[in-house]
Amino acid sequence: MKETVLSNADSSEDHDLIRSFCAGEKAAFDKLVNRHKDRIYNLCYWFLGDFQEADDMAQDIFIKAFGSLDKFRFESAFSTWIYRIAVNTCKNRIKSMEYRYKKWMDRLDAGPENGNPVNIVIENNVNSPQEALEKKEQTATIRKAINSLPPDKKTVAVLRDIEGLSYEEIEKITGLNSGTVKSKLSRARMDLKKKLKGVLK
Amino acid sequence: MNCRDIEKHLSAFIDNALDDEIRPRVEEHIASCTECAEKLSALQSVSNALGDLPIIKAPSDFMENLHKRIKPESFLKKLFRTLFVPFRIKIPIEFATAAMVGVLVFFVTTTQQDVKQLPVSSMEKRAFEVNEPLTQMKDTPVVRKEEERQNAVMPSTVPSPAKAEGSEPFELALVIMPKVTGRLQTQPVEMEYTSDLKKEPAAEEKQKISESPLTGLSVSEKTMSRSTADTYREGRTEDEAGEDQDKANSYYTPSAPEPGGIMIQVKSLIEQINGRIVTVKDNKDSGHSLNAEIPADKYDNFLNQLKPIADFKTPPPDVSIKDMETIRINIRIVDPG
């Protein structure tokens, strides 16, 4: 599992950048974006299952952060704050009629099994093209399985297993208590286990 | 714990997030239950599979595109957000503020009107409504000097001397009422005095009447009583005497004089002092009033001539300002009492 939780030193550096930004140094915002854009983009992709959607949402998230960074109260890590914006933005996007219509049209165009062709570079150790192809197919299947989860289950599954955040961090981001996070994550994994039966070794 | 209870804790068991109390029980159960061990393994595979998913990095032009979107949107969105967002809070506050400003303006305007009208009696208010050149009246109109007028809270009834010294004539108002006396009306009374003894006093009374400065026809109520008493002495029947009494009453009993009747005399006075009558309102609906311009040096003379025929509702203003040629005077005639 990836460990992407920022250390205290990283968090402190984020806070310094925010103070610089609030003091008028606009370049500090670019540094903040560069530090967090990949995590946010990754979250958006696995949450929405679409590159274009992920691109739009990630930009929306940073634009929202840009507009309200002067209201940041330094009570939490910037990463927690930006993840909270990201989760809420993605959930709202999933609920939107535009997103639902787009997904419906994609399904009609692509057919039931095709889905979104994922141009993901498999960086894991693969020994042959055959293995790379299998890995790619498996990744597409997992993406579809994640995409089929309800938003609440998807949120905790993505934050915990894909983003590698701690339970405590997830509680701060989602506002759920510890027991709820555990039970939602347990149910999300159970659902995925059923959906991925035969795919995972 | 049975398998169903254990299954709920398997996910947290993978993440090593179970309490110290529960974790040994789960470990013990898994060691003895192959089915739960397989479930744990499957969940572990799911978690590992998700963890092994490739990290999707942001495209290289992400920052460039972000800058493109931030720059044009920042000003308008910030302005919009400053004015309206959040809608649920700012829009009601804005409506409430607008309503409060409206109420405040309403109160200020109405209060100022009340203050203006406060010192004006109801009668004078009527005069004020008719006399357009005069904006306000007070119970005791006096000519105030410029400093007093500026310091006064209430607007003065008399325009400022500065205005009087300029091209505009000086303005003032008079409210008068005819003197309450018994008087003859326009029809002359034909009276027969049959008693020779009483003819002389009657002639004296007629002389008095002719000398009256008012109409030349006024007689006192006391005089008429004496005249009618004479008719009885002459042996007239009661009915005839009663007719005469009624007749006399109809002409001589004290009654409220008509404001319109005095208007002619006032006009005459103004013409006598070389004044100019500007407007006259002489009907029951709009009231009896007169606008005129009189020479300033004849003002006192005019007042003296006015006193015998009318009472002043309010003392006439004392005009003591020099270098004034003309006084524009508004006279309103009201019913006595």
Does B84 lie in the same domain as B29?
no
Most confident segment among A80-89, A108-117, A118-127, B226-235: A80-89
Whether omega before B86 lies within 30 degrees of 0, making that bond cis, reads: yes
Tens of pLDDT, residue by residue over A116-140, are 444 455 555 666 788 888 888 889 9
The CATH number covering residue A77 comes to 1.10.1740.10
Gap between the terminal Cα atoms of chain B:
108
Residues B297 and B265 grouped into a single domain = yes
Q: Shortest CB distance from B81 goes to which of A2, A30, A67?
A: A67
The predicted pLDDT at position A169 comes to: 94
Total of domains in chain B? 4
In a domain, B192, yes or no: no
Long-range CB contacts for residues A7-13, cutoff 8 Å, separation at least 24:
A10/A35, A10/A79, A11/A77, A11/A78, A11/A79
Q: Nearest to residue B292, comparing CAs of B305, B278, B282, B302?
A: B278
| Higher pLDDT pick, B127 / B176 | B176
Same domain for B147 and B281? yes
B55·A42 Cβ contact <8 A: yes
Domain enclosing residue B47, as ranges: 3-51
Q: With 90 as the cut, is the pLDDT of residue B306 above it?
A: no
**Same domain as B109, residue B137:** no
Considering only A105-114, B41-50, B145-154, B277-286, which range has the smallest mean pLDDT? B145-154
Give how far B109 is from chain A: nearest CA, Å.
42
Residues B127, B9 within the same domain: no
Identity of the residue numbered B28: E
Tell whether A98 is covered by a domain: yes
User: Is the separation of the CB atoms in B45 and B19 below 8 Å?
Assistant: no
d(CA B276, CA B293): 5
Is 70 exceeded by the pLDDT of residue B322? no
Residue A190 pLDDT grade (very low, low, confident, very high; cuts 50, 70, 90): very high
- Per-residue pLDDT at B81 exceeds 80: no
C-alpha of B266 from chain center: 33
Q: Is residue A25 part of a domain?
A: yes
B56 vs A167: CB contact, 8 Å cut-off?
Answer: no
How many angstroms separate the CA atoms of A72 and B10, rounded? 38
- Say if A33 is an interface residue toward chain B (CB within 8 Å): yes
Compute the nearest-CA separation of A107 from chain B (Å). 23
In angstroms, how far is CA B57 from the centroid of its own chain?
74
Q: How far is A94 from A153, CA to CA, in rounded Å?
A: 13
The proportion of chain B whose per-residue pLDDT surpasses 70, expressed as a percent, equals: 55
- The partner residue sitting opposite B51, judged by closest CB among A2, A37, A59, is A2
From B10, which residue of chain A is nearest by alpha-carbon distance? A186
- Residue of chain A whose alpha carbon sits nearest to that of B73: A63
Residues B271 and B323 in one domain: yes
Same-domain check for residues B71 and B212: no
Residue A157 burial (CB count, 10 A): 26
Is residue B188 a part of any domain in this protein? Answer: no
What's residue B87's pLDDT? 82
Indicate whether A3 belongs to any domain: no
Give residue-wise pLDDT tens across range A6-36: 566 778 899 999 999 998 888 999 999 999 9
Query: What is the spatial distance between Cα B305 and Cα B298, in angstroms, rounded to a whole number?
Result: 11
pLDDT digits (tens, 9 = 90+) for B210-219: 444 444 333 3
Closest chain A residue to the Cα of B46, Cα to Cα: A193
Considering only CB atoms, which chain B residues are within 8 Å of A146? 50
- What residues in B contact A200, CB-CB < 8 Å? 42, 45-46, 49
With respect to residue B174, please indicate whether it lies within any of the assigned structural domains.
yes
How many inter-chain contacts (A to B, CB under 8 Å) are there?
106
CB B287 within 8 A of CB B332: yes
Residues 6+ apart with CB under 8 A from B312: B174, B175, B176
A19 part of a folded domain: yes
Residues whose CB falls within 8 Å of the CB of residue B289, separated by 6 or more in sequence, listed in order: B127, B130, B131, B280, B281, B330, B331, B332, B333
B3 pLDDT higher than 50? yes
State the pLDDT at residue B129: 42
Position with higher pLDDT, B124 vs A104: A104
Instruction: Answer whether B15 sits within 8 Å of A160, measured CB to CB.
Output: yes
pLDDT for B156 beyond 50: no
pLDDT of residue A197: 87
* B164 touches B184 (CB < 8 A): no
Quick one: average pLDDT of B32-58?
Answer: 93
Nearest-Cα distance to chain A for B40, in Å, is 10
Residue type, A87: V
Beta bridge partners of B282: B288
In this prediction, residues A49-75 reach a mean pLDDT of 92
- Give the chain B residue nearest A180 (alpha carbons): B12
Q: Which residue has the tokens 């006093």?
A: B201
Question: Among residues 7-26 of chain A, which lie with CB inside 8 Å of chain B?
Answer: none
Q: How confident is the model at residue B177 (pLDDT cuts 50, 70, 90)?
A: confident
Look at A83-87, A147-151, B49-53, B134-138 and tell me which has the smallest mean pLDDT. Answer: B134-138
Q: Read off the pLDDT of residues B99-121 as tens digits, 9 standing for 90 and up.
A: 999 999 999 988 877 665 555 44
Chain B residue whose CA is closest to A65: B70
B186 in any annotated domain: no
Residue B94 has pLDDT above 80, yes or no: yes
User: How many structural domains does chain A have?
Assistant: 1
| Higher-pLDDT residue of B279, A121 | B279
Interface-testing mutation among B4, B23, B55, with chain A (most A C-beta atoms within 10 A): B55
Q: Is residue B57 part of a domain?
A: no
Tell whether B172 and B304 lie within a shared domain.
yes
Q: Cα(B171)–Cα(B23) distance, rounded to whole angstroms?
A: 105
Q: Which residues of B touch A141 (CB under 8 A)?
A: none
Q: What is the pLDDT of residue B165?
A: 43
Residue A200 placed within a domain:
no
**Residue B149 covered by a domain:** yes
Same domain, B279 and B166: yes
d(CA B116, CA B109): 11
Q: Is A171 on the interface with B (CB under 8 A)?
A: no
Return the HEC string of B72-137: HHHHHHHHHHHHHCCHHHHHHHHHHHHHHHHHHHHHHHHHHHHHHHCCCCHHHHHHHHHCCCCCCC
| Domain boundary, last residue among B252, B278, B293 | B252
Count of Cβ atoms closer than 10 Å to residue B145 Cβ: 14
Confidence (pLDDT) at A182: 94
* Cβ–Cβ gap B49/A142 under 8 Å: yes
The Cα of A9 is separated from the nearest Cα of chain B by a number of Å equal to 23
Residue A150, pLDDT score: 93
Structural domain contains residue A66: yes
Per-state percent for chain A, helix, strand, coil, to nearest 5: 75, 0, 25
Whether the predicted pLDDT of B159 surpasses 60: no
Domain boundary among the residues B76, B93, B114 is at B114
Q: Examine residue A1 and state whether it is found in any structural domain, yes or no.
A: no
Other CB atoms within a 10 A radius of the CB of residue A199 amount to 15
Is B44 in the same domain as B139?
no
Q: What is the pLDDT of residue B125?
A: 43
Q: Does any domain span residue B206?
A: yes
Question: Does residue B191 belong to any structural domain of this protein?
Answer: no
- Are residues B136 and B39 located together in one domain of the fold? no
Residue at A179 is within a domain:
yes
Q: Which residues constitute the domain of residue A185? A: 8-195
Range 83-142 of A in CB contact (< 8 A) with B: 120-124, 138-139, 142
Residues B314 and B166 in one domain: yes
CB contact under 8 A, B66 and A59: yes
Residues of B near A (Cβ–Cβ under 8 Å) read: 8, 10-12, 15, 17, 42-43, 45-59, 62-63, 65-66, 69-70, 73-74, 77-78, 81
C-beta atoms of A55 and B59 within 8 A: yes
Q: Residue written as tokens 């393994």? A: B41
